[in-house]
Amino acid sequence: MLGAARRQLGSGPMLGQVLRRLRPAAAAAEVARGYSAAAKEMNVRDALNSALDEEMSADPSVFLMGEEVGEYQGAYKISKGLLDKYGPDRVLDTPITEAGFTGIGVGAAYHGLRPIIEFMTFNFSMQAIDHIINSAAKSNYMSAGQISVPIVFRGPNGAAAGVGAQHSQCYAAWYAHVPGLKVLTPYSSEDARGLLKAAIRDPDPVIFLENELLYGESFPVSAEVLDSSFCLPIGKAKIEREGKDVTITTYSKMVGYALQAAEILSKEGISAEVINLRSIRPLDRAAINASVRKTNRLVTVEEGFPQHGIGAEICMSVVEESFEYLDAPVERIAGADVPMPYAANLERMAVPQVDDIVRAAKRACYRAVPMAAAA
């Protein structure tokens, strides 16, 4: 199995090169965020690339495998320069066979290597979901701790732009349901760099859900973040903006939307606290409940489908641990409960927008216009 992993599995034009489309970056520039002593800016693409480079340099057991990660330098240029630096034994181009190269990666992890499996989109991980759940997630438990599976599954997740129902799903809730997996959802360059390093170093399988529309977004980064030893703890959320009137929990691209909503709300006298979850499994329940006990109100925001979603889990956690602190019903903002439409106008309606978050926060604060008055 390892011998197969070390061979260059495919070359030449790939179907992904035809399908690939560059999408516009996320809409408006986001409001200022409280990053400490930022010396420069870095986009998310470069943050991921530098994390891969540094971890591969530090540990020869780390290797990258996926479609177009080598010669083409990544469908989204995340692996730019890595093939030239580390060679085809550690940066392996594969055919379009997710089940095949994911299984090879899991087997390599059984034998002590640290594979990073790139999916061109997490929608394609469904072709390999048996290896991810039954082979990677369960092996440590089923072997009574004798087998560790230090593997990272990474790639873009969620809606992009104009790619239709089969390429626009958010898999956060899917994989967060599974014991044995860790699920990370970076937003900023700091998140991307620190969490990817943590994922690669972790002894357990990690699902690393990036967002295609964030790759070109730049964020301030401090000297600490740029240090090669920088690493973020798994399972710890970050308060992106402090507030006292309502808590907004979210992850990935929706963090930017929540920050924009918080800025709008501040002009209307509502102080919103924005929590960037960073980690979906494990979930930082302590941070969420501490914030709700301060603000007494909660709005959850996610791109995925509403039923059995991340917001539902957060709501239940608050009901179990902080129910007596709530002054209003929990508000949940999620994607529409329909397959993603292809038409741009319908697609926009199917994904949460800044105005949706603003309205939900106002309802939680009893500042919304009554339905009868609006009519």
Query: Does some domain include residue 35?
Result: no
Chain segment 217-250, per-residue pLDDT in tens: 999 999 999 999 999 999 999 999 999 999 999 9
Residue 62 has pLDDT above 70, yes or no: yes
Residue 11 has pLDDT above 60, yes or no: no
Final residue of a structural domain among 191, 226, 261: 226
Chain segment 107-121, per-residue pLDDT in tens: 999 999 999 999 999
Write b or e for each residue in 213-239: b if 16 or more Cβ atoms lie within 10 A of its Cβ, otherwise e.
bbbbbbbbbeeebbeeebbbebbebbe
Q: Are residues 56 and 200 in the same domain?
A: yes
Query: Does some domain include residue 195?
Result: yes
Return the HEC string of the chain. CHHHHHCCCCCCCCHHHHHCCCCCCCCCCCCCCCCCCEEEEEEHHHHHHHHHHHHHHHCCCEEEEECCCCCCCCCCCCCCCHHHHHCCCCEEECCCCHHHHHHHHHHHHHCCCEEEEECCCHHHHHHHHHHHHHHHHCHHHHCCCCCCCCCEEEEECCCCCCCCHHHCCCCHHHHHCCCCCEEECCCCHHHHHHHHHHHHHCCCCEEEEECHHHCCCEEEEEHHHHCCCCCCCCCCCEEEECCCCEEEEECCCHHHHHHHHHHHHHCCCCCEEEEECCEEECCCHHHHHHHHHHHCCEEEECCCCCCCCHHHHHHHHHHHHHHHHCCCCCEEECCCCCCCCCCHHHHHHHCCCHHHHHHHHHHHCCCCCCHHHHC
Q: Are residues 179 and 261 in the same domain?
A: no
Q: Domain count for the chain, please give it.
A: 2
Q: Which residues are catalytic?
A: 98, 167
Q: Are residues 288 and 333 in the same domain?
A: yes
Q: Are residues 107 and 203 in the same domain?
A: yes
Query: Does some domain include residue 132?
Result: yes
Cβ neighbours around 264 below 10 Å, total: 16
In this structure, what CATH number is given to the domain that contains residue 331? 3.40.50.920
Q: Could you list the residue range(s) of the whole structural domain that residue 205 is in? A: 40-226
Please choose, from the candidates 117, 123, 235, 102, the residue with its C-alpha nearest in 3D space to the C-alpha of residue 170.
Answer: 123
Confidence of residue 370 (pLDDT cuts 50, 70, 90): low
Confidence of residue 18 (pLDDT cuts 50, 70, 90): very low
> Whose structure tokens read 């971890």?
55
Instruction: Give the pLDDT of residue 128.
Output: 97
Q: Are residues 71 and 104 in the same domain?
A: yes
Please choose, from the candidates 202, 173, 199, 169, the residue with its C-alpha nearest in 3D space to the C-alpha of residue 186.
Answer: 199
Q: Are residues 288 and 221 in the same domain?
A: no
Final residue of a structural domain among 226, 248, 265: 226
Mean pLDDT of 317-345: 96
Query: Does some domain include residue 17?
Result: no
Final residue of a structural domain among 170, 201, 226: 226
Q: Are residues 102 and 184 in the same domain?
A: yes
Q: Are residues 170 and 91 in the same domain?
A: yes
In this structure, what CATH number is given to the domain that contains residue 81? 3.40.50.970
CB-CB contact of 75 with 120 (8 Å):
yes
Q: Are residues 140 and 73 in the same domain?
A: yes
Residue 90 has pLDDT above 80, yes or no: yes
User: pTM (2 decimals)?
Assistant: 0.88
Query: Does some domain include residue 151?
Result: yes
What's the rounded Cα separation, in Å, for the pair 214 and 188? 8
Confidence of residue 39 (pLDDT cuts 50, 70, 90): low
Q: Are residues 70 and 171 in the same domain?
A: yes
Q: Are residues 50 and 193 in the same domain?
A: yes
Query: Does some domain include residue 121?
Result: yes
Residue 157 has pLDDT above 50, yes or no: yes
Mean pLDDT of 199-222: 97
Q: Are residues 69 and 209 in the same domain?
A: yes
What's the rounded Cα separation, in Å, for the pair 64 and 57? 12
Chain segment 265-300, per-residue pLDDT in tens: 999 999 999 999 999 999 999 999 999 999 999 999
Query: Does some domain include residue 215?
Result: yes
Query: Does some domain include residue 232?
Result: no
